[in-house]
Amino acid sequence: MVRVVGLALLLSLLLGTAWAKSRRSPPPLEPPAGSQPLTFAPPQLTELTLPVTGLWGVLQGFGTESHTGYATFALDFVPAEDRARALPLASRTSLSDFPCFGREVLALAPGDVVWAHDGEPDHPPFWPGRHEPGNFVIVQHGPHELTELRHLQRGSVTVKVGDRVARGQRLGRCGNSGNAHTPHVHLGLLGELTPLATRPLRLARYEVLEAGGRWTPGDGTPRTGQVLRSTAAPSIPGASPPETSVPPAFDSLPATR
């Protein structure tokens, strides 16, 4: 009898400790970030297309400004703007002054949603920034191939963990959540989820604007300052078709991850 009571008491103590720990440690809002990227990774097998439609500029390429550590192989995009008509940067006091804010952000390839987070605020323009998860979606396309899309608009995330998505399906809208100074689309190809670590990324089916207004096929690695347009047809009914018109001059704007 004493032995039974002792076992019952031990079990009660163990369960009580586990319950107390669960109350003290809420589930994380995002996966932990690693300190280094995956410089050496197996060949990329998934064909990835741009996560946006229309005419976009590459604000930051690989290994520039805030793209260091785990985010070394990440890209930031903003819509191309007409320099002559664009609102001066100093006059942009509202998020709606940025043409990126509210634009659709799309799945780069078929895959399964393995992480999705919404509900974080969109910060005002030129917020000094600190590390916050922001609103984001991570889609797994294959072994060691996951795309991460960050800084999404609050309330715009349309998917949940376990959803199967198609290429070109809307995942959310561009916002200014997380560690972002101004609205932009942040894209990374992850080789690992825990901890997060980007790997070299190659995009397909896009064109780059050259001098004189000539379009040439992209080589797979978008670079800072390039203006791009997608040539990929979406694989879901009703999705926006690729943009084909010639853009105005691109005027880059500051941003961070």
The ranges assigned to domains in the chain are 55-230
Nearest partner of 61 among 249, 222, 241, judged by Cα: 222
Backbone angles phi, psi at 4, to 5 degrees: -65, -45
Report CA-CA distances (Å) from 197 to 27, 37, 180: 20, 5, 19
Reported pTM: 0.83
Nearest partner of 100 among 122, 115, 116, judged by Cα: 122
The superfamily CATH assigns to domain 55-230 is Glucose Permease (Domain IIA) (2.70.70.10)
Q: How far apart are CA 151 and CA 149, in angstroms?
A: 7
What integer pLDDT is reported at residue 118 of this predicted model? 98
Q: How far apart are CA 21 and CA 114, in angstroms?
A: 25
Instruction: Provide the residue-wise pLDDT of the chain in tens; the chain has 257 residues.
Output: 444 444 444 445 444 554 444 456 677 889 888 878 888 889 999 999 999 999 999 999 987 666 778 888 999 999 998 888 899 988 999 999 999 999 999 999 999 999 999 999 999 999 887 788 999 999 999 999 999 999 999 999 999 999 999 999 999 999 999 999 999 999 999 998 989 999 999 999 999 999 888 999 999 999 999 999 999 876 665 555 555 554 445 444 444 43
What integer pLDDT is reported at residue 240 of this predicted model? 54
